[in-house]
Structure 1
Amino acid sequence: MMYHASSQPAGSHADAAFYRMGRLTAKLGVGRSTLYEWIKAGRFPSPVKLGPKAVGFRAEDVHAWIAAREAA
């Protein structure tokens, strides 16, 4: 088990190093197609390749994007 220095319980979404598509779309309340449109338009961070058939979104990038939208 990986240790995360956080006030959130281990295993919570806030502790995830990466968000997979299903968890991310649920967190943001948007569909996959909307998310891919935002990525294509440069309005959302691009995913990173995690394996031959898997991509994920860096949690720190997602959290920064959410914070920037809340500040706007």
Structure 2
Amino acid sequence: MDQLNLDDAQWRKSSASADTGQCVEVATNLPGIIAVRDSKNPQGPALIFTPEEWKAFLHGANQGEFAI
């Protein structure tokens, strides 16, 4: 599989994120994909999701499906 070019990604993180950088960043401006990366390692790998997968994840998170 070819390396996906994320140079045009506009990364953002939650406004509730602590200044310690212990969070994830999300790019939603790329056609057909949602990219997620670790803010502590911005040059590292990103997870790639389809918009449908991302919507399902957000729905699950909002419903508490991932609560410990």
TM-score in same-fold range (> 0.5): no
Greater RCO, CA 8 A, separation 6+: 1
Bigger fraction of residues in strand: 2
Q: TM-score, normalised on structure 2?
A: 0.32
Q: TM-score, normalised on structure 1?
A: 0.31
